[in-house]
Structure 1
Amino acid sequence: MKRSRFLEEQIIGILKERKAGQKVADLCRKHGISDATFYKWKTRYGGLEVSEAKRRRTLEDENGRLKRLLADAMLDNTTLKEIVEEKWRHLPTNGRRSDTSGKVSP
């Protein structure tokens, strides 16, 4: 996902300027954003305070980190299962081990 050139704190500040009475068109021109961007921000950050936005960001980062850890653990688990299956596939079925000459030992 592309990172915004604005920090969450800046976005919340721009939204607060709108609440203070400035027009959307003036805000967009002042900050160099489109109307669509403003309304997308309003949907995503409307009503948030700066501290809530920071907490949300840390939770999203932690969630991403935990998802990567889970994916790694699942990959390790799958690999280990494949190794065990491979070892079990090569064991003799009668319970006796054969030596290198092909003769079965009692």
Structure 2
Amino acid sequence: MRKSRFTEAQIIGMIKEQEAGMPTGDVCRRHGLSPATFYKLKAKYGGMEVSEAARLKTLEDENAKLKRLLADTMLDNVVLKDLLGKN
């Protein structure tokens, strides 16, 4: 996945600007992103504080690591079953 050019703190700051009454178009122009990207980020980070966003990032990283470990284990199991089945 592509790394965002904005930190979680910057994203939350943009969302708070928009929630404070600044038009969405102005927020997007000021920070150089499209309205679609803004709304996608708002859906993910809306209503969060910076500490919660950092916690979300660590949980997502841990989840990705666990998924890779599970996939590796499942692949190992398939290989072992194939080897046992051919004997």
The total of aligned residue pairs comes to 87
Residue deviations 1:46-84 (CA, integer Å, cap 9, x gap): 101111111111111111111111111111111111111
- SS of equivalent residue, structure 2 residue 22: coil
2:24 counterpart residue number: 24
Partners of 2:17 and 2:6 lie apart in 1 by 15
Bigger radius of gyration, 1 or 2?
A: 1
1:38-77 alignment, distance < 5 Å: 38-77=38-77
Partners of 2:45 and 2:4 lie apart in 1 by 13
Cα RMSD of the aligned pairs, angstroms, is 1.4
Residue 34 of structure 2 corresponds to residue 34 of structure 1: yes
Residue 78 of structure 2 corresponds to residue 78 of structure 1: yes
What residue ranges of structure 2 are gaps of 5+ in the alignment? Answer: none
2:8 counterpart residue number: 8
Partners of 1:52 and 1:35 lie apart in 2 by 24
TM-score (norm 2): 0.87
Partners of 2:17 and 2:31 lie apart in 1 by 11
- The structure with the greater share of residues assigned to helix is 2
1:95 counterpart residue number: none
TM-score (norm 1): 0.73
| 1:18 shift after superposition | 1.6
Which deviates the most, 40-49 or 58-67? 40-49
- SS of equivalent residue, structure 1 residue 6: coil
Partners of 2:35 and 2:23 lie apart in 1 by 11
The percent of aligned pairs where both chains have the same amino acid is 61
More RCO (CA 8 Å, sep 6+): 2
